[in-house]
Chain A
Amino acid sequence: MGFILRRLFFYLVAIFVAVTFNFLIPRLMPGDPIDALFASAQGRMPLETLAAYKEMLGFVDGPLWDQYLAYLGSILTWDLGPTIMLYPLPVSELLAAKMPWTLGLAGMSTLIAVCIGILVGTYAAYNLGGFTDRFVPGFWAFLGAMPQPVLALFVFFLFALRWQWFPLSYGANPDLDPGWSIEYIKSIAHHAVLPLGCMIFGGIGAWIFNMRNAMINVLGEDYITMAKAKGLSNRRIMTHYAARNALLPVVTAVSMQVGFVMAGAIFIETVFNYPGLGLLLFKALAARDYPTMQACFFMIVVFVLVFNFIADLLNLWLDPRLRK
């Protein structure tokens, strides 16, 4: 239990740091983002709106400490105020509408990439110097270094634009009524193929690498030789003896990868016009919609922390030493 409590405390601190960061950033920057907004609206923004924005971003009069408390209060009550680009729609409503798309994309792609990566990495390391081992890691290292916007653009160009196998944009056919009908779900799946494929493609290399390296370290251990001496089958040694223990450092590496996955979602959703958090962030950037931007960032941080916590739980399950 101590382990879980320690981790939860750590995540609490991290969320706190993220909130403080969100609070400080607009105040540390030269010039006031709200004034910039007011100027860019060219007189089309009523003064009450301006006041509302100031209040929402915590630019209330008073000492910094009071502003900070007011800001914390608004986060805790999840009252993030109205958006700027789609005024007067509340930021929290907009986020709620976009979240499931990104959650599905990030979750599914991580799951698939991890599974394939672990299988390939295990196989490559167990057959060290074999064909898979010699070419697959290098191949993925080369491809994995491709920036996600570039990868997404290439895939978009070939499969959506040139050959038209998959739709160009949206998360589902806009002519269909959203709901649990088979047709709608089919449409979602059809629209998700390319973005999902890009995200898997971008993440898989890291998993193969991590798994292969972890496996190689484990394979030198005495208990592997012992297992061979007992006459266990190769397959059983590979999965139950080597891979089982090599998984630990790989699961820990999740913390590094999830941030990368979320960043990938921003670019991939932008290219495929996929209606998730990433596209929302991109649109907010273009419209200089600071409240939405900050809310997106906060949501992404929360996503990453939740994924990290899941990884912690997995570690707890995999590693009996943590359960003491």
Chain B
Amino acid sequence: MKVTIQFLKRFYTGNPAAIFGSLIVVAMLVMSAGASVIAENDPNKRVARGHQPPSTELLLGSTRSGKDVFSQVLHGGRISLLVAFSAAVITTVIAVCVGVSAGYFGGRVDEFLMAITNVVLVFPQLPLLIILAAFVGQVGPLMIALIIGLSSWAWGARVIRSQTLAIRNKEFVLAAEVMGESRLRIIFVEILPNLTSIVFGGAMGTCIYALMAEAGLEFLGLGDPTIITWGTMLFWAQSNSAFIVGAWWDIVIPGLAIAIFGGGLALLNMSIDQIANPKLRTGGYLNRWRELKQQVDRKRGLA
């Protein structure tokens, strides 16, 4: 517990990106989780005339069919976020399995797995998703999560493999092998904990990607339009030409929801990268370092 608090303190100190990112992500999560409490209107019910602008009564206006945009955004967030997170979990599990096996076992296994990974990697993922979704027909959120999860693990697998390769030849792994630890134990106890930050960073990145991919698929009309998500809200608004008739809130609100949540995740992701590789850090604490560096450089005659 104490260690966790210390870690969090170190993570957030002097790191506004991490603070902003966490605030955004937590706020959005809480808001979608408590959607039915915060928004009093049923997102599927007609509560007003079509395309009413935002007002005190309808906080964010109404859609063309007279549904409450505020309530839809909150409820839609639930499914959008669920899809993004589950796709990230599927991707991460596959990436870790492939990457660690390839890196640890090496030889034939490595060659075989990396050949597959490289071919998958070179395929444009989103167009692939679009074609898959088009042939499956209108796909529900679960299917979208599955398709995204199964098709976007390649990059993560490669990164994890190279990191595993680096760790594999460290003394502590060799020591564990000499002591006769089983391969499973070496993988789970010796190697995996050292991959934590890379795995988390990758999962975060996939989450952003899945959020974008889901919104994109649904925007193109490939999702199930009867289920309210941020993507289908965009789809309906766009196919009802909301901008042309002046109902900007119908598109801007779900768009902003995706953009802000994705942005928050990206900031968090950046901060996690900086834990994995402290050299990447930036911020006010570098001022002192810059001063010292300049002094030293001047002494050495390098500045």
Segment at the A interface, from B4-12, B36-44, B97-105, B128-136: B128-136
Q: Is B220 an interface residue (CB 8 A)?
A: yes
Q: Which residues of A contact B125 (CB under 8 A)?
A: 259, 263
Q: Is B81 an interface residue (CB 8 A)?
A: no
Q: Which residues of B contact A282 (CB under 8 A)?
A: 220
Q: Which residues of B contact A128 (CB under 8 A)?
A: 282, 286, 290
- Closest chain A CB from B135 CB (angstroms): 5
When each residue 195-221 of chain A gets 1 if its CB lies under 8 Å from chain B and 0 otherwise, what string results? 000000000000000001100110010
Q: Which residues of A contact B17 (CB under 8 A)?
A: 138, 141
A141 in contact with B269 (CB, 8 Å): yes
Chain A interface residue count, Cβ-Cβ cutoff 8 angstroms: 65
Q: Which residues of B contact A242 (CB under 8 A)?
A: none
Interface on chain A toward B: helix, strand, loop, or mixed SS? Answer: helix
Q: Is B258 an interface residue (CB 8 A)?
A: yes
Of B119, B243, B270, the contact of A141 (CB 8 Å cutoff): B270
Q: Which residue of A lies closest to B116 (CB)?
A: A17
Q: A148-B212, A153-B251 are in contact. Are A129 and B123 (CB under 8 A)?
A: no
Q: Which residues of B contact A141 (CB under 8 A)?
A: 17, 263, 266-267, 269-270
Bound: A317/B140 CA distance, A: 47
A156 in contact with B243 (CB, 8 Å): yes
| Category for how many chain B residues contact A | 35 or more
Of A14, A129, A150, A294, the contact of B215 (CB 8 Å cutoff): A150
Q: Which residue of B lies closest to A140 (CB)?
A: B266
Segment 150-165 of A: residues with Cβ below 8 Å from B? 150-151, 153-154, 156-157, 161
B222 in contact with A146 (CB, 8 Å): no
A220 in contact with B279 (CB, 8 Å): yes
Segment 8-64 of A: residues with Cβ below 8 Å from B? 10-11, 13-14, 17-18, 25-26, 29, 33
Bound: A133/B252 CA distance, A: 30
Q: Is B28 an interface residue (CB 8 A)?
A: no
When each residue 279-305 of chain A gets 1 if its CB lies under 8 Å from chain B and 0 otherwise, what string results? 001100110101001101100110011
Q: Is B280 an interface residue (CB 8 A)?
A: yes
Q: Which residues of A contact B244 (CB under 8 A)?
A: 161
A145 in contact with B126 (CB, 8 Å): no
A263 in contact with B135 (CB, 8 Å): no
Q: A146-B263, A150-B234 are in contact. Are A285 and B130 (CB under 8 A)?
A: yes
Of B212, B280, B282, the contact of A147 (CB 8 Å cutoff): B212
- Closest chain B CB from A21 CB (angstroms): 8
Q: Which residue of B lies closest to A129 (CB)?
A: B286
Q: Which residues of B contact A147 (CB under 8 A)?
A: 211-212, 215-216, 219, 258-259, 262
Bound: A138/B274 CA distance, A: 12
Q: A157-B251, A267-B219 are in contact. Are A281 and B266 (CB under 8 A)?
A: no
A146 in contact with B259 (CB, 8 Å): yes
Q: Is A255 an interface residue (CB 8 A)?
A: yes
Q: A129-B290, A141-B267, A141-B270 are in contact. Are A150 and B259 (CB under 8 A)?
A: yes
Q: Which residue of A lies closest to B255 (CB)?
A: A150
Of A143, A145, A217, the contact of B279 (CB 8 Å cutoff): A217
Residue picked from B128, B135, B251, B252, most chain A C-beta under 10 Å: B135
B interface list, Cβ under 8 A from A: 16-17, 118-119, 121-128, 130-132, 134-136, 155, 208, 211-212, 215-216, 219-222, 234, 238, 243-244, 248, 251-252, 255, 258-259, 262-263, 265-267, 269-270, 273, 277, 279-280, 282-284, 286-287, 289-290, 297, 300, 302
18 contacts between A and B (CB under 8 A): A17-B119, A17-B123, A25-B135, A134-B284, A141-B17, A142-B267, A145-B259, A151-B259, A157-B252, A161-B244, A216-B280, A228-B302, A255-B122, A259-B126, A262-B127, A266-B126, A266-B127, A300-B127
